[in-house]
């Protein structure tokens, strides 16, 4: 069952807004059995909208639009779809009351824009938008479904979860699709491919493999489609078992989970606690850990020591060692780890100090130099890494690598 996603908005085409909607919709709709044929992003014009709709309808069973449903003049999706499906606009009373409640609860009065948002085509079904004022639209034509939702991510997500997915499941007989991720760390993609060459060649035809490299990791994605979910999962598990024999030291998870989740589960399972002390990553590790619901069970907190003063006063780093070895050094990063572990009274602590760039590098310590320390109940270890020149990549790699060090220690 094919599905096309059409994202509308000039802000996407000028690179002002990152298209997280197509990503999220693909994940959720693939999970329930749709094959996403393509994602396309087009401009806010009637011609572009109608051309994309016609192509999509000729190839796919379901077409999902996001964007261009707001209350302002640049929102053209509703008039374009209304024209295509030949309906007329009428006021939906339930939508009207909902908009009124939302606007007045924020201390504003209904205006013309708000009133217009309650006008919907009379030949579509309204998708309720609990978190916003723009209603969603559900059209049908010759057994195919066309859905339009606003582009604001949290509004759209609730609509997909609460209304779109249940209705699509009811309407279509969907296959089972499994995409199982295996996370690896420590080997470049080309080497990994060589090491698992025979395994890959002997994969059953029903299982498709993809290599997904990213800073510090290569993910392997095993995909399979069929009718019996248990059997699909079993076949994939058999292959992952073989893979785990081949490269045990490089695999860190065979589930659909990122490394912060894996580390979190290990800590929770063993009733252990963690604190962090971050310099160059500036809170990014803490963010990766705390964006997971329930992380307060094992994560106590962090000291982000962006200045040397904070390293000395809050983490008990020896000021003389900063002078002697520099803030980016084995001595300092070890003291940061021990300092935060003692202060927050945890079992483990991660500390990072490095030069994220783009400036601040020297011949001895070029941009990308990062010291990572792990304080454990048994002692403290530290290792130097030299990443690249780009600030954002260095922050990402340092954080992922540090979590990887903790995972190895725990796992």
Interface residues for a second copy in 337-366 (CB under 8 A)?
Answer: 343-345, 356-359
Binding of residue 307 to a second copy (CB under 8 A): yes
Listed in sequence order, the DSSP H helices in 106-228 are 112-116, 153-159, 165-171, 189-195, 197-201
- Of 144, 167, 219, 384, which lies in the binding site for a second copy, with binding defined by CB under 8 A? 219
Cis-peptide, bond into residue 358, ω within 30° of zero: yes
Binding of residue 314 to a second copy (CB under 8 A): yes
Binding of residue 289 to a second copy (CB under 8 A): yes
- Of 47, 97, 171, 190, which lies in the binding site for a second copy, with binding defined by CB under 8 A? 190
**Region 222-261 residues binding a second copy, contact defined as CB under 8 A:** 223
Closest distance to a second copy from the beta carbon of 85 (Å): 23
For a second copy, the closer CB: 162 or 409: 162
Binding of residue 86 to a second copy (CB under 8 A): no
Closest distance to a second copy from the beta carbon of 145 (Å): 19
Distance between CA atoms of residues 71 and 112, nearest Å = 9
**Region 133-152 residues binding a second copy, contact defined as CB under 8 A:** 133, 152
Closest distance to a second copy from the beta carbon of 86 (Å): 26
How many other CB atoms are there within 10 angstroms of residue 103's CB atom? Answer: 17
Mention every residue, 6+ apart, whose C-beta is less than 8 A from residue 229.
Answer: 176, 178
Among residues 75, 87, 67, 76, the alpha carbon closest in space to that of 141 is found at: 87
Mention every residue, 6+ apart, whose C-beta is less than 8 A from residue 375.
Answer: 334, 337, 338, 340, 341, 348, 349, 350, 351
Of the listed pieces 136-144, 211-219, 225-233, 329-337, which binds a second copy according to CB under 8 A? Answer: 211-219
Binding of residue 272 to a second copy (CB under 8 A): no
C-alpha atoms less than 13 angstroms from C-alpha of 277 in its C-beta half-sphere? 35
Binding of residue 13 to a second copy (CB under 8 A): yes
Give the sign of the dihedral formed by CA 103, CA 106, CA 111, CA 114: negative
- Count residues near a second copy (CB under 8 A): 113
Closest distance to a second copy from the beta carbon of 169 (Å): 17
For a second copy, the closer CB: 234 or 291: 291
How many other CB atoms are there within 10 angstroms of residue 241's CB atom? Answer: 10
Closest distance to a second copy from the beta carbon of 195 (Å): 9
Closest distance to a second copy from the beta carbon of 118 (Å): 12
Pairing of strands 2-8, 35-42: parallel
**Region 385-404 residues binding a second copy, contact defined as CB under 8 A:** 388, 390-393, 395
């Amino acid at each position: 069952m094919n599905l096309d996603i059409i994202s509308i908005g000039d802000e996407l085409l000028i690179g002002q807004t990152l298209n997280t909607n197509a990503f999220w919709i693909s994940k959720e709709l693939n999970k329930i059995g749709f094959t996403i044929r393509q994602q396309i992003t087009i401009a806010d014009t009637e011609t572009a909208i109608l051309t994309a709709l016609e192509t999509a309808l000729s190839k796919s069973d379901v077409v999902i639009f996001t964007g261009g449903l707001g209350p302002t003049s640049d929102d053209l999706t509703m008039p374009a779809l209304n024209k295509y499906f030949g309906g007329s606009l009428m006021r939906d009373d339930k939508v009207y009351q909902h908009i009124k409640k939302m606007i007045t609860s924020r201390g504003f009065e209904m205006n013309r824009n708000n009133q217009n948002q309650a006008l919907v085509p009379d030949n579509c079904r309204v998708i309720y938008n609990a978190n916003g004022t723009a209603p969603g639209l559900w059209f049908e034509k010759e057994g195919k479904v066309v859905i339009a939702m606003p582009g604001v991510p949290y509004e759209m997500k609730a609509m997909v979860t609460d209304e779109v997915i249940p209705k699509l499941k009811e309407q279509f007989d969907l296959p089972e699709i499994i995409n199982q991720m295996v996370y690896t760390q420590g080997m470049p993609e080309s080497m990994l491919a060589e090491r698992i060459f025979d395994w890959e060649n002997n994969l059953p035809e029903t299982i498709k493999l993809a290599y997904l490299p990213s800073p510090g990791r290569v993910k392997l994605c095993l995909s399979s489609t069929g009718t019996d979910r248990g059997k699909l999962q079993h076949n994939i598990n058999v292959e992952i078992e073989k893979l785990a024999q081949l490269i045990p030291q490089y695999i860190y998870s065979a589930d659909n989970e990122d490394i912060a989740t894996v580390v979190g589960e290990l800590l929770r399972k063993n009733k252990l606690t963690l604190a962090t002390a971050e310099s160059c990553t500036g809170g990014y590790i803490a963010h990766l850990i705390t964006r997971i619901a329930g992380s307060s069970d094992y994560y106590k907190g962090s000291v982000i020591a962006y200045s040397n003063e904070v390293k000395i006063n809050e983490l008990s780093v020896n000021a003389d060692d900063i002078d002697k070895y520099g803030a980016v050094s084995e001595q300092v990063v070890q003291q940061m780890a021990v300092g935060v572990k003692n202060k927050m009274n945890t079992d483990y602590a991660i500390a990072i100090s490095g030069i994220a760039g783009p400036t601040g590098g020297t011949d001895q310590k070029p941009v990308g130099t990062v010291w990572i320390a792990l304080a454990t109940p048994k002692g403290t270890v530290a290792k130097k890494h030299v990443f690249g020149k780009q600030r954002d990549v260095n922050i990402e790699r340092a954080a992922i690598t540090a979590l990887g060090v903790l995972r190895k220690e725990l796992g």
